[in-house]
Amino acid sequence: MITAGKGAMPLYIQIRELLIAKISKGDWLPGDSIPSEMNLSQELGVSQGTVRKAITELVEYNVLRRKQGRGTFVSNHDSQRALFHFFHIVDAKGHRVMPDSKVLRCHRRHASHGEALKLKLKDRADIIRIERVRNLSSSPTMIETITLPGHLFKDWDELDSGNLPNMLYELYEKQFGITIHSAEEQLRAVAATKHDASLLNLQAGTPLLEIERVALTLNKSPVELRISRCNTKKHHYENTIL
Amino acid sequence: MITAGKGAMPLYIQIRELLIAKISKGDWLPGDSIPSEMNLSQELGVSQGTVRKAITELVEYNVLRRKQGRGTFVSNHDSQRALFHFFHIVDAKGHRVMPDSKVLRCHRRHASHGEALKLKLKDRADIIRIERVRNLSSSPTMIETITLPGHLFKDWDELDSGNLPNMLYELYEKQFGITIHSAEEQLRAVAATKHDASLLNLQAGTPLLEIERVALTLNKSPVELRISRCNTKKHHYENTIL
DNA sequence: AAGTGGTCTAGACCACGTA
DNA sequence: ACGTGGTCTAGACCACTTG
């Protein structure tokens, strides 16, 4: 509950955490509006300014979105947001390119030691592994290997695995109630294997940019491991440091 | 001047821009404290809360830094900040490693077409070019080629070019009054040239991570072009998406 | 003790969207 | 016309640093 007084956490932080809990629990779903600042402040017995400060921080974290005159909404993963926020590969001119995807394989497996570690699962836990090739500017440019914890995606097998959507984060949210909120990426240069080379129409040994991403929910629990190998002849990874 | 009334920009934005101007002009230097919130609000004829909101945004942009009980200060480039904010290469465990550097060459040249474009200079403008090798965990891991606009670094030649500091951004700030505030990076995988290979003790053709960075001041004017080629066997580039 | 930033309140008015 | 978020004020008290 909200407590005031010396030594207590600031009110706006308590309220911020309370709002996060509501969203994590699913009381308010992505796309929903939350109660107005006035309503919240009356329910919680604090001033509007204090509620406002809590909400402001969550807007900065991209958890909430304000719309003047309409209300405050839980963020959702439209393709726009996925493309702008999580997809960092652009063409030589710096333009974002919408990738398309062809699924090569999609099956259940046991997690390797490395996968279990990165997804915080037990060794040999049930996982789903997807392999796909992505075209950028209509030429095959990336190979992705995606690993999902099986227990979070129970009804996965009912999907048409040959016809998965391009932007998986939207699927995770709409079909499984899992919202990806942040991610940690590691980038390396690697040599293309024969397998890579045949899929991307280049020679084995060609340098590829490898992006290893762990995607996290709002509570920082890992939900997806994604390894992308990317031909950077005509595209590159863009990062802005503010 | 600060103006109120309909159709005008919000006061806190006018104040924010006014503070930025003061800092860009050099009225307040990195490390200096700025006037207290109360003083500013009285001088500008607005409430303390409005000044506070302007300052809060600049703290979020890393332009200012608040210290409770002491005051508000213009950010400066201690090595800590440079290391945490601008250096994204970490070891296999994800720990940041302090690099050391050996300068190979440092001389004045004419800008190539590409360099001129990226630094917004005229073709064949006067530039300074530095080449150095950086050790991480005591093995040579990165080759850096740094290009600086000559007119911004007039007295560069008086420096001992064989003995440049590790963290150049601190030097730019202290010796030349230029503070790097943000940067745009492009990452690619490339094959090591013979030259790269001999410097990094590996075979020509080995995949390297190439990082091309343009560093910008607070006004977004480009100040440095830096191309780093990095052996990612034992280290990688880390990026967090929030 | 005095001065700084940090939190919180209560209330005013503005800008926007919907009905 | 009404309800929403957005800006702004004036003033209170707390937490921290310095003299």
A74 and A28 in contact (C-beta within 8 Å)? Answer: yes
**Interval B215-226 mean pLDDT:** 95
Element (DSSP H or E) covering residue B106:
strand B100-110
Long-range pairs for A43-49 at CB < 8 Å and ≥24 separation?
Answer: A44/A2, A44/A15, A44/A18, A45/A2, A46/A2, A46/A11, A46/A15
Long-range pairs for A105-112 at CB < 8 Å and ≥24 separation?
Answer: A105/A129, A105/A130, A105/A131, A106/A130, A106/A131, A106/A161, A106/A162, A106/A164, A108/A150, A108/A157, A111/A147
Residue among A136, A186, A240 with most chain B CBs within 10 A, to mutate:
A186
pLDDT tens per residue, range A101-119: 999 999 999 999 999 999 9
For position B82, what pLDDT does the model report? 74
Among B61, B187, B205, the residue with its CB nearest the CB of A205 is B205
Whether the predicted model's global pTM rises above the 0.85 cut: yes
Check whether residue B65 has its CB closer than 7 Å to nucleic acid strand C.
Answer: no
pLDDT tens per residue, range B84-111: 899 999 999 999 988 999 999 999 999 9
**Residue A142: phi, psi to the nearest 5?**
-135, 145
For position A172, what pLDDT does the model report? 94
**How many Cβ pairs closer than 8 A exist between chain A and B?**
93
Q: Which residues pair with A131 in a beta bridge?
A: A105, A145
For position A79, what pLDDT does the model report? 65
- SS3 of A101, please? strand
Which residues of chain B lie closer than 8 angstroms to A237, CB-CB? 186-188
For position B80, what pLDDT does the model report? 73
Using a CB–CB cut-off of 8 Å, the residues of B that contact A are 60-62, 85-86, 88, 182-191, 205-210, 230, 232, 236-242
Q: Which residues are CB-contacts of A38 (< 8 A; sequence separation ≥ 6)? A: A48
Cβ–Cβ gap A187/B209 under 8 Å: yes
- Between A84 and A235, where is the model more confident? A235
Nearest CA in chain A to B93: A186
Asked if residue A173 has pLDDT above 80, the reply is yes
Report how far residue A206's alpha carbon sits from residue A211's, in angstroms, rounded to the nearest whole number.
16
**CA B232 / C1′ C13 distance in Å:** 58
Q: Which residues are CB-contacts of B191 (< 8 A; sequence separation ≥ 6)? A: A206, A207, B204, B205, B206, B207, B208
What percent of chain B stands above pLDDT 90?
A: 85
For position B79, what pLDDT does the model report? 65
Residue entry with tokens 């060794």? A123
